[in-house]
Structure 1
Amino acid sequence: MEFALGLLSVTPKELEELGWSFVDRKRLLDHFLGSGKAAQGVAPEVLGQTLIKLRFPPRDVARLQRFARRALSKAASNAAMLDGVLRVLDSVV
């Protein structure tokens, strides 16, 4: 969720610096929305420890890696979450 909130917090200037359009950001958020629907069936007390599968096209994985390294670190309040996201993104490329 924090990753998706980070995407929402990106300013138009930062989107431009990332080489993204608003359509790109919406598409990425739609991927997170789809995974959120899958998470709805998980009990709240175990949700924090549950791995939720995300499916992204390879071009979007590269975009998310760039975002996580450049912009998310400014928005993320949870460094462990950021490290985990980067570790997963790096493993799929």
Structure 2
Amino acid sequence: MEFALALLALTPVELEALGWTFADRKRLLDHFLASGKNVQGRKVEDIARIPVELALPQRDVDRLQQFARRELPKTVSNAGVIDRVLNALDRASHRSLQPMSG
């Protein structure tokens, strides 16, 4: 949730500095919203133990990694949030780089 709030807190100037548009930010937030649906209805104490899978295109993984490393330390109060987000993005990046079987 803190990650999404940090994305929402970006000013137009900060978005431009990241090379993003408002549509880019909305698309990125939509990824988090979709992944968060996996934990809806769960007990709050269980949510931290439930893996939440991010399914997003590599270009968005790259953008979110850049944002997490550059901007999150300025806005997120919980360092554990940054670590969890970066770990999830690293896993998403590795999945998208693997060759497709078929």
Please confirm whether the aligned pair reaches a TM-score higher than 0.5, indicating the same fold. yes
Deviations 1:14-43 (A, max 9, x none): 100000000000000111111122210322
**RMSD of Structure 2 on Structure 1 (CA):** 1.4
C-alpha contact 1:10 1:71 (8 A) present in aligned 2: no
CA gap of 1:88–1:38, structure 2 versus 1, over 3 A, is closer
Runs of 4+ residues over 4 Å off in structure 1:
none
Separation in structure 1 between the aligned mates of residue 12 and residue 3 of structure 2, nearest angstrom:
17
Whole-angstrom distance in 1 between the partners of 2:53 and 2:62? 17
User: Using the alignment, how far apart are the partners of 1:61 and 1:43 within structure 2?
Assistant: 28
Deviation at 1:69, TM superposition (A): 1.1
- 5 Å matches for 1:10-89? 10-89=10-89
- Same amino acid, percent of matched pairs: 58
Q: Quick check: which has more Rg, 1 or 2?
A: 2
Unaligned ranges ≥5, structure 1:
none
TM-score, with structure 2 as normaliser = 0.82
Check conservation: 1:31, 1:55, Cα contact below 8 A: yes
Q: How many residue pairs get matched?
A: 93
